[in-house]
């Protein structure tokens, strides 16, 4: 059986978009698991998944994709700087805003937000702080995020003035300064775990729920996200992602930017 056939059949019934798991990273994870179980082919692993609910429910996490880069999709970050953050900072009801980046890979996204704040917002709003929570289920991702050390290719969208001010080159790698890094509080959690930071002014959930999840899995995840964000708070998704019309009940897209939506006042049923 070909990997494509395996992944299509395996994703059926798990509410996952199989096309997004055709990447080498997912395939390697599946092959590694097959070796652990002593299985020779994808057809045997498919049988295992069908017979063993534990193996099936672990598959989405096993196949997850971890890629990111600083300021991924520059225009999204421009919209944050020009519109979203000033609007939130103007209306903030306490001394700081709360932001969560869910699915952080090696920290590129929460650190981009910290850098953007330091560079563009702090000078304009010296009395407002930003608390950034960075959450991922993968302990390795969190450990690498805390190291703050990156290949140049991850920095290719970083504006020159930010790179020269906040990164130091060492042995061919780029090390992020401690000051912006200290704005981020990391924790290891699955997005469906209870106890994620709530009362958010801003949630970045990019290339996770809105790319990989479909059907009931996506519905439950979006309701979970809606519980975390304050009415009037903002959600930023990826440029290549879209909200479904039935999700507008929780998150109403802003006409100026499709990838930013505002949490409505509708409460989520328990
Ligand atoms: C494709 S990366 C996206 C990273 C970043 N948000 C971006 O857009 O550049 C997805 C990240 O989400 C994490 N992830 C996947 N499923 C998760 C889950 N159920 N709970 C928490 N993190 C998850 C992965 O470990 C990975 O770091």
**pLDDT for position 35:** 96
pLDDT at 258: 87
Q: Are residues 176 and 251 in the same domain?
A: yes
Task: Give the Å distance between the CA of 42 and the centre of ligand 1.
Answer: 25
255 pLDDT band (50/70/90 cuts)?
A: confident
Evaluate whether residue 136 is within a structural domain: yes
Q: Are residues 30 and 80 in the same domain?
A: no
Tell me: do 134 and 192 sit in the same domain: yes
Statement: residue 53 has pLDDT above 90 = yes
Residue 69 lies in a domain: no
Asked if residues 236 and 81 have their Cβ atoms less than 8 Å apart, the reply is no
Do the domain assignments include residue 67? no
Could you tell me the pLDDT band of residue 74, with boundaries at 50, 70 and 90? very high
Q: Contact at 8 Å (CB) between 268 and 227? A: yes
pLDDT tier for residue 256 given thresholds of 50, 70 and 90: confident
Calculate mean pLDDT across residues 56-68. 93
H helical segments located in 160-251: 160-166, 178-181, 209-212, 215-228
Domain-located, residue 83: yes
Average model confidence (pLDDT) across the chain: 95
Q: Are residues 148 and 123 in the same domain?
A: yes
- Give the pLDDT score at 174: 97
> Are 44 and 113 found together in one domain?
no
Same domain for 136 and 229, yes or no, is yes
Indicate the pTM of the whole model.
Answer: 0.95
Structure tokens at 212: 């990989």
Give residue 14's domain range.
3-62
Mean pLDDT (whole number) for 54-70: 93
Closest by CA position to 219, among listed 249, 253, 247, 190: 247
Percent of the chain with pLDDT over 70: 100
Q: Which of 65, 80, 103 to mutate to test the pocket of ligand 1 (most atoms within 8 A of CB)?
A: 103
Q: Which contacts of 140-144 are long-range, i.e. CB under 8 A and separated by 24 or more positions?
A: 141/66, 141/104, 141/105, 141/106, 141/107, 142/104, 142/186, 142/187, 142/188, 144/106, 144/107
Within 6 A (CB) of ligand 1 lie 64-68, 72, 103-105, 109, 136-138, 141, 190-191, 206-208, 238
Last residue within a domain, chosen from 23, 42, 62: 62
Q: Is residue 188 part of a domain?
A: yes
Summarize the confidence of residues 137-158 as an average pLDDT. 96
Same domain, 78 and 175: yes
Examine the domain organization and report whether 17 and 98 are in the same domain.
no
**CATH code where residue 93 lies:** 3.40.50.150
Distance 103 CA to ligand 1 centre (A): 3
pLDDT of residue 229 exceeding 80, the answer is: yes
Note whether 140 and 50 are same-domain residues.
no
Burial class (CB in 10 A: 0-12, 13-18, 19+), 139: exposed
């Amino acid at each position: 059986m070909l990997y494509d056939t395996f992944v299509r059949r395996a994703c059926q019934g798990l509410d996952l978009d199989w096309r997004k798991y055709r990447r080498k990273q997912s395939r390697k994870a599946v092959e590694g698991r097959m070796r652990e179980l002593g299985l020779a082919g994808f057809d045997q692993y498919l049988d295992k998944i069908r017979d063993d609910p534990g193996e099936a429910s672990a598959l989405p996490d096993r196949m997850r994709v971890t890629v990111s880069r600083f300021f991924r999709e520059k225009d999204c970050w421009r919209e944050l700087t020009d519109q979203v953050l000033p609007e939130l900072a103007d209306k903030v009801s306490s001394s700081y805003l709360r932001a969560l980046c869910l699915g952080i890979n090696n920290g590129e996204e929460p650190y981009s937000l910290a850098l953007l704040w330091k560079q563009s917002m702090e000078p304009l709003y010296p009395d407002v702080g930003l608390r950034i929570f960075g959450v991922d289920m993968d302990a390795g991702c969190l450990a690498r995020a805390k190291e703050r050390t990156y290949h140049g290719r991850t920095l290719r969208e970083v504006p020159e003035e930010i790179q020269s001010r906040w990164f130091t080159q060492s042995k061919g790698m780029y090390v992020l300064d401690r000051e912006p890094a200290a704005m981020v509080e990391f924790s290891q959690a699955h997005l469906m775990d209870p106890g994620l930071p709530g009362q958010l002014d801003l949630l970045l959930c990019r290339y996770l729920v809105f790319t990989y999840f479909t059907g009931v899995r996506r519905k439950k995840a979006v309701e979970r996200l809606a519980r975390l964000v304050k009415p009037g708070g903002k959600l930023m998704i990826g440029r290549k992602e879209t909200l479904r019309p039935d999700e507008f009940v929780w998150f109403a897209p802003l006409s100026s930017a499709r990838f930013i939506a505002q949490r409505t006042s509708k409460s989520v049923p328990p």
